[in-house]
Structure 1
Amino acid sequence: MADRIDQPKEPRRSFVPRVSLGGEDGFGKISESIARFMGTPRFILYLTLFCIAWLAWNIWAPPDLRFDSATNGFTALTLMLSLQASYAAPLILLAQNRQTDRDRVQAEQDRQRAERNLADTEYLAREMASLRMAMSEVATRDFVRSELRNLLEEILEQEDEKRRATSDDGEAGTGVPRP
């Protein structure tokens, strides 16, 4: 399975990066893994320990076992660090170019996703507008309640009128209506 570029790499315990050389992009993957390693605190620690060991050996080792003279300003160490820097710069640039390409693809995907979201939002807005227009023709809860209140008031008024009419038509004092 291909490595996902949107997820961080899992930590490895190996000093040598594990990258397959298969495919046309093998060198790019190797350069990226080296550039990634060079950007870690572990690399700086290893480089520092290497320089300390180099300097310690060439200062305190027996004179016949020393290979870089302090009197010459540790020329071999300077050459080693220059060589490392001369390889690091192009590898880092290559890794940055690959990252730029991935960022460009990601930006295009984000743009397409944003366009889809905008189209969906516009569609939903049109649907809501059409529902609002349709709702203007439908009776709302408050409208139905007010109509029911009005009907209830009319019914109560009619009952009051009937009671008054029956009490006026009845015999005086009996409260019984005439037949």
Structure 2
Amino acid sequence: MKRPTFPAPYKHEHAPVKNVNEVITEQLTIGQKAADWIAARVGSWEFIIGQSVLLTLWALLNVTAWVRHWDPYPFILMNLVLSLQAAYTAPMIMMSQNRQAARDRIEAHNDYEVNLKAEVEVKEVLENLAAQNIAIAELQTMLETLLARQDDRE
């Protein structure tokens, strides 16, 4: 009588999956953190509302002359301040976006690696299930043979 053979247990031989966000956050420089902070603040409704209030107050104070006219109409100083703000915030926002694009590429690559690992795992599970089906069929045949012999003896 042939004994059924069972496959060896599957061993996980791949590196653990890494959290991309943690890896990238650990590698951030001070400049990158500053760019992300500025991009997050400038791209918010709080900033838009706050800047709108500030510019409205600036214009009102200079038009009504409640306080000395430090920037009379056409508000050349205000335009200079806004130009300087745009000149510095735009590149910082672009730096943050470029870094985010790089992060997205790393995350896509990580997803690809996870999918490859999952494919290997699924193949192993299917192979083990096929081996179990063969072993069960062999056991069933052996049981039927034993039962047939027992019926013949009776």
Give TM-score scaled by structure 2 length. Answer: 0.69
Q: Does 1:30 align with 2:34?
A: yes
- Distance (Å, rounded) in 2 between the aligned partners of 1:5 and 1:81: 34
Match of 1:11 in 2: none
User: Secondary structure of 2:140's partner?
Assistant: coil
Match of 1:123 in 2: 124
- Distance (Å, rounded) in 2 between the aligned partners of 1:25 and 1:121: 40
Counterpart residue type for residue 118 of structure 2: N
Using the TM superposition, give the Cα deviation of residue 105 of structure 1 relative to its aligned residue in structure 2, in angstroms: 2.1
- Distance (Å, rounded) in 2 between the aligned partners of 1:5 and 1:42: 26
CA RMSD of aligned residues (A): 2.7
- Distance (Å, rounded) in 1 between the aligned partners of 2:46 and 2:66: 31
Counterpart residue type for residue 64 of structure 2: W
- Distance (Å, rounded) in 1 between the aligned partners of 2:28 and 2:104: 20
- Distance (Å, rounded) in 1 between the aligned partners of 2:85 and 2:77: 12
Deviations 1:132-173 (A, max 9, x none): 122222339xx97xx89xx7xxx9xxxxxxxxxxxxxxxxxx
> Taking structure 1 as reference, are residues 5 and 33 closer, same or farther at Cα in structure 2, changes over 3 Å only?
farther
Using the TM superposition, give the Cα deviation of residue 62 of structure 1 relative to its aligned residue in structure 2, in angstroms: 4.1
Q: Does 1:91 align with 2:92?
A: yes
Which of 57, 63, 69 does residue 53 from structure 1 map onto?
Answer: 57
Counterpart residue type for residue 49 of structure 2: L
4+ runs of 1 displaced by more than 4 Å?
Answer: none
Which runs of no fewer than 5 residues in structure 2 stay unpaired?
1-19
Using the TM superposition, give the Cα deviation of residue 77 of structure 1 relative to its aligned residue in structure 2, in angstroms: 1.5
Deviations 1:5-44 (A, max 9, x none): 47xxxxxxxxxxxxxxxx9821121111111111111111
Match of 1:74 in 2: 75
> Taking structure 1 as reference, are residues 112 and 48 closer, same or farther at Cα in structure 2, changes over 3 Å only?
same
Deviations 1:101-151 (A, max 9, x none): 2222222222211111110001001111111122222339xx97xx89xx7
Structure ranking higher in helix proportion: 2
- Distance (Å, rounded) in 1 between the aligned partners of 2:28 and 2:114: 30
Say which structure, 1 or 2, has more relative contact order (CA 8 Å, 6+ apart).
2
Match of 2:48 in 1: 44
> Taking structure 1 as reference, are residues 58 and 117 closer, same or farther at Cα in structure 2, changes over 3 Å only?
same
Q: Percent identity?
A: 27
- Distance (Å, rounded) in 2 between the aligned partners of 1:99 and 1:88: 16
Which runs of no fewer than 5 residues in structure 1 stay unpaired?
7-22, 156-179
- Distance (Å, rounded) in 2 between the aligned partners of 1:106 and 1:46: 35
